[in-house]
Structure 1
Amino acid sequence: MGTPFLITIATMALLSSLAIASDPSPLQDFCVAINDPKNAVFVNGKICKDPKVVNANDFFFQGLNVPRNTANRQGSNVTAVNVNNLAGLNTLGVSLARLDFAPYGLNPPHTHPRATEVLFVLEGTLNVGFVTSNPPNNMKNQLFTKTLNPGDVFVFPEGLIHFQFNVAKTNAVAFAGFGSQNPGVITIANAVFGSDPLISADVLAKAFQVDKKVIDLLEAQFLK
């Protein structure tokens, strides 16, 4: 992608620096994460690598310029760059992701429980939106939605259900910045109909006000 890709990365870096991180503020210059299953220390994040053995590769990730495979049922692919694959992000409260969409591909309704998301569209046309939390007095949840073109930016507040949908016949690419080193993701349909073990069909039938056969059909989609 050349120059447009470099502009994207610079933009996302700026957006991330402006984000209000929800993770705790660091108490040192850096705390490079280390995965050590034999270590019995539990912290809110990851334990730190000894600074004396930290090197530049701990702060390095490459390949975000490479298009990802979108040949799946949703027609989308999210490449996350967070503390789990870029250890130097530990305690720094930021991360990012690349989003690839096939024509009419969807990043289905989901939430990030620990982060606000800032989305930047590089290529294509996306319809995006988020829904507010439950309002008082039995009012309806409000949907905020917008159609985005290259160069457009949209913000999804922390914890709220949101989505991105490619409304064009061509591929789309976007980049997202997060105010957390590990935003987490809860895909609504997967969590509700594909949990292990499954949520009781009686519970879901009553919640969605449908026949249990509909719930059985929906759950069967996630057992394939």
Structure 2
Amino acid sequence: MAASFKKTVIKSTPRVGENITSDTNYWKNLEVPVTKKEFGAITNIEFSPSEPHSFAVTNSTRVQIYSSKSLQILKTISRFKDLAYSGSFRDDGKLLVAGGEEGLIRLFDVEGRALLRVFKGHSGPVHVTKFLRDRVRLFSGSDDNSVAVWDIPREAQITTYKEHQDYVRCGVSSLSSNDILLTGSYDHKVKMYDSRIGDSVLTVDHGHPVEDVLMFPTGGIFISAVSMEEF
């Protein structure tokens, strides 16, 4: 008797795989990340707002400026005797300011790396240095708990705020106002200042030491980030 059989029908199911979207294609086209090793702890990284958008890496006793295209070091600013902090560009990319463990604030010409100004007045390390929008002033925040506004041409301190009760470790200036600046401190407070007024105009208690602050370009919103460990 001849053997008989029934053909097995194999069901086809949709293949489980990656859902290809425009976002998927975008990320696939990115190159492999490039790693650069520094000799000391990196305390700040900031891109220049102006083309060609180089970026400054503050580490150890120097600020190194990298090309955003080649990722090669373009310049090294090493006029510090101790740790450097908060290397920040002016919005035109021509000047760079940085604080340091010595309590001094140094202003540099980016193109020639020349030291243009040294601002003295803080009694503790300076972790925050930023330009104000008008380009002729800058502000600083220090471990002496104070915030200071400086006149660049005169190399002079204009205003000092002593409202924080602990280290001032972060700050940002408004992109929509020449006079508004924001600082965060380990006293759990975020304070907003108007440089035309001698006191803060707003105080927010975040409940924990404030490590970083950002302000929306229009100036209407700000964000703060904290450390959950008490010091």
* TM-score bracket for the superposition, by shorter chain length: under 0.3
Q: Whose RCO is larger (CA < 8 A, sep 6+)?
A: 1
TM-score for the superposition, normalised by structure 1: 0.23
Specify which structure has the higher proportion of helix: 1
- Which protein shows a greater Rg? 2
